[in-house]
Amino acid sequence: MAPRKLQVAVAGLGRMGARHALNFLNSVPCAELVAAFSPEAKELEWAKVHLEPFGVTLYNDYKQMLEHTGLEAVCIGTATSVHAEESMQAIDKDLHVLCEKPLSTSVKVCQEVVDHAAKKPHLKVMCGFSRRFDASYRDVAEKIEAGKIGRPTILRSQTCDKHDPSGFFVAYAAWSGGVFVDMSVHDIDLTLWYFGSSIVPKSISAYGVVATQPGLKQFNDYDNAVGIVEFWDGRIAYYYASRMMPHGQEDVTEIIGTEGKLSVNLNPQKNLVNYYHSGGITREVPHDYWGRFEQGFVGEANVFAKACLDDTPVPLEFQNSVKAVQIGAWLQEALVSGKQIRFDESGNRLEKSNL
């Protein structure tokens, strides 16, 4: 008798949603992709070629997809603006949820989703921070837990996208929440993982420039930004976000401890090939985030599906999805206002918002 498979649907078939759909279709043995939704005709045309021939039912109405017979879980890869609404609608239908980060660009709405999920503790509801499932970042976590570098004290982490002159990042900035909420939220989540989710900010500062994409100014966003978070327990996190890397994706993390240091991808490369030629020695780097983190997304989907089938906890604290966005929002505010934000030892802000 074949083992039971989790019946999964994917919402959204744009760049991210399509990749989630193909993962559940091809790379998650304990799950079966049974349905997919998109309101976009172009995306549904893609799905008719890549999903429908394999038994996946297509929908152009999200609520209708939630009624699909036998459906157990939904993976949400739609636009950030509808993540929260679609997550709560799925929870109301008693479905497990894996939602792309962030749950919302609004901290208040993020908390509403977390509170909504808490009403149904039997459901597995997880926000997708893919780096948590990357082999290198997991190895770092294990080494920190084993005390290999003493007490982790300084974290320097960056998310840097390849330059895209098409205007995509400018249009995206209209609803992304800004570079710190959209990009550095991954690095903030790593901080909550490596320093512990109980850390309390003491001060937050941020600085940025618009170097290559002047259209970002209309949305109070930047193509390069640096943020520094000082915590009350004596640790510091430094974040760099960029949309102008000419060579490709460059996501790097360093964790400096009292007895050593760990780094991830400090010398980015696509694979283990070096090209030796008359001009020197060169190597390729990933073109985009998928080239770097594809296996992390595969691992995330497999862990989520297994937790749903086995009724075991998902490995991420759901409340951290709110805290990561909150710190990102404070960084974005500091970036736009040019003013440092300070907090007392309980994490209460010492002054009102500057925006």
Q: What would the two tokens of residue 85 be?
A: 């609404």
Q: What is the pLDDT of residues 289-314, one digit of tens each?
A: 999 999 999 999 999 999 999 999 99
Domain identity same for 192 and 251: yes
Q: Which of 68, 99, 127 is the last residue of a domain?
A: 127
Q: Which domain holds residue 164?
A: 135-288+323-342
Average pLDDT, the chain: 96
Same domain, 188 and 122: no
| pLDDT above 90 (res 179) | yes
Pair (119, 166) in one structural domain? no
**Amino acid letter, 188:** I
Domain-located, residue 251: yes
**pLDDT score at 354:** 65
Is 312 a member of any domain? no
Query: What are the φ/ψ torsions at residue 244 (nearest 5 degrees)?
Result: -130, 25
d(CA 129, CA 224): 22
- pTM comes to 0.95
Judge whether 350 lies within some domain.
Answer: no
CA distance linking residue 312 with residue 173, whole number of Å: 37
Q: What is the CATH number of the domain that holds 80?
A: 3.40.50.720
- The answer on pLDDT for 353 being more than 80 is no
Q: What's residue 355's pLDDT?
A: 63
Specify the amino acid at residue 144.
I
pLDDT per position as a tens digit, 115-138: 999 999 999 999 999 999 999 999
**Interval 230-256 mean pLDDT:** 97
Same-domain status, 233 and 271: yes
The answer to whether residue 231 is domain-embedded is yes
State percent of the chain over pLDDT 90: 97
Q: What's the whole-number mean pLDDT along residues 100-118?
A: 97
Q: Beta strand 96-100 with 125-128: parallel, antiparallel or unpaired?
A: parallel
User: Using CA atoms, how far apart are residues 118 and 123, in angstroms rounded to an integer?
Assistant: 9
Sign of CA dihedral 279, 283, 289, 291: positive
Distance of alpha carbon 236 from alpha carbon 226, whole angstroms: 13
The alpha-helical segments, DSSP class H, found in the chain are: 15-26, 41-50, 62-66, 83-92, 107-118, 135-145, 168-172, 179-182, 185-194, 289-310, 320-337
Element (H, E) at 262: strand 261-264
329 vs 182: CA distance, rounded Å = 10
Euclidean distance between CA atoms 211 and 225, whole angstroms: 11
Question: What is residue 118's predicted lDDT score, i.e. its pLDDT?
Answer: 98
Q: Say if residue 16 is in the same domain as residue 79.
A: yes
Q: Are residues 113 and 232 in the same domain?
A: no
What pLDDT score was predicted for residue 213?
96
Number of domains in the chain: 2
Mean pLDDT across 61-82:
97
| Amino acid (one-letter) located at 246 | P
In a domain, 201, yes or no: yes
In a shared domain, residues 117 and 142: no
Question: Same structural domain for residues 80 and 168?
Answer: no
Give tens-digit pLDDT for 264-274: 999 999 999 99
Do 225 and 333 have their domain in common?
Answer: yes
- Predicted pLDDT of residue 3: 86
Q: What is the pLDDT of residue 25?
A: 98
Instruction: Identify whether residues 116 and 147 lie together within a single domain.
Output: no
Nearest to 303 by CA among 30, 70, 99: 30
pLDDT of residue 178: 95
> Which of 103, 127, 151 is the last residue before a domain boundary?
127
Question: Omega before 102 cis (within 30°)?
Answer: yes
Q: Residue 336's pLDDT is what?
A: 96
Q: Domain ends where: 110, 127, 144? A: 127
Q: CA-based diameter of the chain, in Å?
A: 64
Contact predicate 127/97, CB 8 Å? no
Report the amino acid identity of residue 63.
K
DSSP for 124-182 reads -EEEE-GGGG-HHHHHHHHHHHTTTTSSEEEEEEEEEEEP-TTSHHHHHTTTS--HHHH
Percentage of the chain surpassing pLDDT 70?
99
DSSP per residue, 53-74: GGTPEEES-HHHHHT-TT--EE
Question: What local confidence, expressed as pLDDT, does residue 351 receive?
Answer: 84
Which CATH number do you get for residue 327?
3.30.360.10
214-225 per-position pLDDT tens digit: 999 999 999 999
Model pLDDT for residues 1-20, shown as the tens digit of each residue: 778 999 999 999 999 999 99
91 within some domain: yes
Average pLDDT of the segment spanning 61-84: 97
- 53, 156: one domain: no
Q: How far apart are CA 46 and CA 271, in angstroms?
A: 29
Q: Are residues 21 and 42 in the same domain?
A: yes
Q: What is the pLDDT of residues 135-171, one digit of tens each?
A: 999 999 999 999 999 999 999 999 999 999 999 999 9
Residue 190 lies in a domain: yes
Per the domain annotation, does 274 fall within a domain? yes
